[in-house]
Amino acid sequence: MDDDSSSRIAAALRDWVRAASPGARLPSTRELVATHRASPVTVQRALRTLSAQGLIETRAGVGTFVRAVRTLRPADYGWQTAALRSPHSKITAVASALRSAPNDVIALHSGYLDRELLPERLVRAALIRAARSEAAVTRAPASGLPALQSWFAGELAATCRGDVTGPVASDVVVLPGSQAGLSSVFRAVVAPGQALLMESPTYWGAILAAQQAGVRVVPVPSGPQGPDPDELDRAFTESGARVLYAQPTFANPTGAHWSPQRAAEVLQVVRAHGAFLVEDDWAHDFGITAEAAPLASYDDAGHVIYLRSLTKSVSPTVRVAAVIARGPVRERILADRGAESLYVSPLLQAAALDVVTQPGWASHLRTLRRQLHERRDLLVAAVREHAPQAVLEHVPPGGLHLWLRLPDGTDLDLLARRCEAEGLVVAPGTEWFPAEPAGPYLRLNYAGPQPAAFGEAARILGRSLEEAVTARLP
C-alpha cells in the first residue's frame, strides 16, 4: 500500500515539477503529508524517486527545489591525445584479479585471502597501538623504520645456506607494497628499451610494471619446476638482457616451486652473465606441503634483488613490503623510491611490524597453512569431478591458486561470460602471459570466500566449458 501511495505522490509531484520553473521550491514535507494524506516516510520515498530521476535537488537546511536543467557542450579532450602520444603500455581495463564481485556470486578470480583467513584481531590491535604511538605524527626514514628493516633482513638471513652471509638492516628498503617495488626495480636496473627476461606465464602486475618502465620484455618458458637453465642461458645471450624477473616460490599463477637444484642452476646462469635476478617472494607465508626457500638465501654477491610483501598475508589495507639489495643497486632503488613517494607511512610500518612480532603471528600462520591445504584439496577434487575438461597439470605445494589447462579452442572470453551469467567469476589466463599465450588457461583462487560452494563452482565451470568449446568448433 505504501508503495502505491509513494508512486501516486511521485506522479503528482512529477506533473508539478514539469509545470514549475527551474529552481522553484517544492512544498515542504509537512505540506505534502497534509495534501496527500500520507506518512512522512511515504512522502520521502516519493521525493527520493524524483531525485534519482534528476528532477529535483535537496539543499540541506534550505529545502527541495526543481533542478535547473542545462544543456552543456560536451567537453573536448582531443588535445590530450596529441599531448600524451603513444602509451608506455597497452591500455587495459582493471585486471581480472582486482575486479569487485557482487556478494551473491562465487568469486574465484581474486588474488587475495578471504577475510576469515586474515589475522584480523592482530591487525586491529596493531593499528590502534600504532595510532597511539609516535608513528602517527612523525616522518619515517626514507629507507624505512629501522626495526622493520631489521625484521625483514632477519627473516631472509634465517634461511641462508652454508657459508652465505645473510643481509643486514641497511640492505633493506621498505616499500608501499611489492607492486611499487617492482616498478622501482625495473626503472632502476633496466634502461628504457633494454631487455628484461620474464618467466612465461608470470604475474600480470610485473608485466604491467615492466611495460610502464618502457623496457622490452623477453618471455622465457617456465613450468612447474621453473625455467630450463639452457633456455635461460640462450635468452640472456640472444637478448643481451642483464635482468631476470622470477617467482621461485609458489609462483603466481602456476604455483611452481623450484627445487634447490633448479635454483642453484638458475643462479649459476645469472652469475655467468653478470646479471641480476629479481626474486618476487610474494607467497612466502603461503606454504602448504613445501617450505618457502628464497633463492636469495644462496646469494651474497648482490646478484639477487629480493622482494617480500606483507600485504597479502597481514591485510590488503597494510600495504607494506621490502626490497633487499646489496651494493650500488640498492642506492639506485632507494633513489627511485624517493622520487616516487619519499617514504612509506610510518603508521602502516609500525602496524605491520607489530603484527609479525606478536606471539599470535606464528600460530596464525600454522592455522592458515592448514586452512589453505583444506581449501586447495577441496577445489582440486571439485574440479576433477565436475570439470574434468580442465586439466590441473600439477597440484601447487603452496600459494593461493590453481592453474588449469583448458581444451584447445576454448573461447576464454565466452567462458568467463557464461560462468558469470551463472554466478561464478573466474580469471582467464591471458593476462599472465608477457607474449602470446601458450594455450587457453584459467586461474582459480582457492583462498577466497565460500569454500562450501566449490562444488557448485566446478559444476558451473564444467557446463560453461562445454558451451565455450562447442562455440569455437567449425
**Could you tell me if residue 172 is inside a domain?**
yes
pLDDT at 72: 47
**Could you tell me if residue 76 is inside a domain?**
no
Kind of pairing, strands 424-425 and 106-107?
parallel
CA distance 165 to 154: 11
Angle formed at CA 466 by CA 460 and CA 467, multiple of 5 degrees: 90
Instruction: Determine the straight-line distance between the first and last CA of the chain, rounded to whole angstroms.
Output: 56
pLDDT at 94: 63
**Could you tell me if residue 43 is inside a domain?**
yes
Q: What is the pTM for the complete model shown?
A: 0.81
In the structure grid, which three cell numbers stand for residue 61, read together? 537546511
Indicate whether 129 and 235 sit together in one domain. yes
**Could you tell me if residue 89 is inside a domain?**
no
Q: Which of 304, 329, 357 is the last residue of a domain?
A: 357
Indicate whether 62 and 179 sit together in one domain. no
Kind of pairing, strands 391-392 and 401-405?
antiparallel
Q: Which domain holds residue 50?
A: 2-66
Residues whose CB is less than 8 angstroms from the CB of residue 103 and which lie 6 or more positions away in sequence, other chains included: none
Indicate whether 445 and 457 sit together in one domain. yes
CB–CB of 472/456 below 8 Å? no
DSSP string, 93-133: -S-GGG----TTSEE---SS--GGGS-HHHHHHHHHHHHTS
Indicate whether 108 and 128 sit together in one domain. no
Indicate whether 217 and 139 sit together in one domain. yes
Indicate whether 378 and 234 sit together in one domain. no
Indicate whether 332 and 412 sit together in one domain. no
Interhelix angle for 178-189 vs 328-341, to 10°? 120
CATH, residue 319: 3.40.640.10
CA distance 299 to 305: 10
**How many structural domains compose the chain?**
3
pLDDT at 69: 58
CB–CB of 443/405 below 8 Å? no
Residues whose CB is less than 8 angstroms from the CB of residue 222 and which lie 6 or more positions away in sequence, other chains included: 199, 200, 201, 202, 246, 251, 254, 256
CATH, residue 49: 1.10.10.10
- Helix-strand-coil split of the chain, %, nearest 5: 45, 15, 40
pLDDT at 71: 46
Indicate whether 253 and 281 sit together in one domain. yes
Q: Going residue by residue through the chain, which has 474 residues, state the pLDDT in tens, using 9 for 90 and above.
A: 566 788 889 899 988 988 888 888 999 888 999 999 888 888 888 888 888 788 888 876 678 888 875 444 566 766 776 677 666 555 555 677 667 766 678 999 998 999 999 999 999 999 999 999 999 999 999 999 999 999 999 999 999 887 888 899 999 999 999 999 999 999 999 999 999 999 999 999 999 999 999 999 999 999 999 999 999 999 999 999 999 999 999 999 999 999 999 999 999 999 999 999 999 999 999 999 999 889 999 988 899 999 999 999 999 999 999 999 999 999 999 999 888 888 899 999 999 999 999 999 999 999 999 999 999 999 999 999 999 999 998 999 999 999 999 999 899 999 999 999 899 999 999 999 998 898 999 999 999 989 999 999 999 999 999 887 765 555
**Could you tell me if residue 52 is inside a domain?**
yes
CATH, residue 409: 3.90.1150.10
CB–CB of 464/418 below 8 Å? yes
**Could you tell me if residue 260 is inside a domain?**
yes
CA distance 255 to 284: 12
pLDDT at 345: 93
